[in-house]
Structure 1
Amino acid sequence: MHTSDRIERKILLKAPRSTVWRVVANAEAFGQWFGVALEGKRFVAGARTQGQITYPGYEHMVWDVEVMRVEPERVFAFRWHPYAVDPGVDYSGEPTTLVQFELEDMDGGTLLHVVESGFDRIPAERRLKAFRMNSRGWDEQMNNIETYLAIP
């Protein structure tokens, strides 16, 4: 079913759940594969986490999320402003989307299920572009985490 409100991705990672959890919920490890400088940072439910984006072309931007849930080895979730890339725009008054990572044991590894929802509340003039760009971004991030976990 196609919906414009949510992006969903699933990937079977060839690693135990504890390892996948560490690279998803440990801020420093997350930043390494996601492309954000998060050295010395932690993900704590109810707190904001910020870091300089290291992804080429976006280094002028700060990654800024509000951590919503940290349920060890099960769920990690945060809220952010999707595709908030124009330095001349203040996105703080806009609604955020919810990004949720869920982990599940599977034969051969851990199933990582990522859902970003809430696009229907994003201002109409930005909604489609934000959805498309984040959809593409999640494809890339699934490759990034798989590659990161494959490095010995």
Structure 2
Amino acid sequence: RMEPERLLSWRWHPAAVEPSVDYSKEPTTLVVFELKEVEGGTLLSVVESGFDSVPPSRRLDAFRLNSGGWDEQMQSIAKHVATP
């Protein structure tokens, strides 16, 4: 779903990194980027939900991989918006 200048969301298979594995029958997680006007600027929130549906054998690794990835992406965004 996309609402320009406000919201972007999508579903995907978290940590689907093994080329020989068919992840298509596994549940997906939902990623939501939301922008909100606040005093002095814009607040960006990023939430990925649905890890409780990921198969238990992959859940912890998927959460750790995605959490680390989102940390890196947020740092990249912070650098980008701080650059004049």
The TM-score, its normalising length taken from structure 1, stands at: 0.52
Give 1:146 deviation, angstroms: 1.4
Q: Counterpart of 1:127?
A: 59
State how far apart, in whole Å, the 2-side matches of 1:119 and 1:76 are.
19
Q: Alpha-carbon deviation of 1:145? A: 1.1
**Structure 2 partner of 1:137:** 69
SS in structure 2 opposite 1:90? coil
The residue that corresponds to 1:35 in the other structure is: none
| Structure 1: distance between partners of 2:52 and 2:5 | 29
Q: Which runs of 5+ in 2 are unaligned?
A: none
Give the alignment partner of residue 76 of structure 1, picking from 8, 23, 29.
8
Q: Which runs of 4 or more aligned residues in structure 1 lie more than 4 Å from their structure 2 counterparts after TM superposition?
A: none
Whole-angstrom CA distance in 1 between matches of 2:40 and 2:15: 34
Q: Write out per-residue CA displacement over residues 40-60 of structure 1, whole angstroms, 9 at most, x where no aligned residue.
A: xxxxxxxxxxxxxxxxxxxxx
Q: Deviation of residue 137 (structure 1)? A: 1.1
User: What CA RMSD, in Å, does the superposition of the two structures yield over aligned residues?
Assistant: 1.2
**How many equivalent residue pairs?**
84
In structure 1, the residue corresponding to 2:30 is in which secondary structure?
strand
- 1:87 aligns with 19
**1: CA distance between counterparts of 2:49 and 2:8?**
14
Aligned AA for 2:69? Answer: G
1:93 partner SS: coil
Report the counterpart of residue 97 of structure 1 in structure 2: 29
Any idea what SS the aligned residue of 2:37 has?
Answer: strand
Of Structure 1 and Structure 2, the greater helix share is in 2
Letter in 1 for 2:66: N
> 2:42 — aligned with what?
110
List alignment gaps of at least 5 residues for structure 1: 1-68
TM-score (norm 2): 0.91
Structure 1 CA distance for aligned equivalents of residues 83 and 7 of structure 2: 24
Distance 1:151 1:89 in 2: 40
**How far apart are 1:107 and its partner, in Å?**
2.4
- Identity, in percent, stands at 65
What letter matches 1:84 in structure 2?
A: A
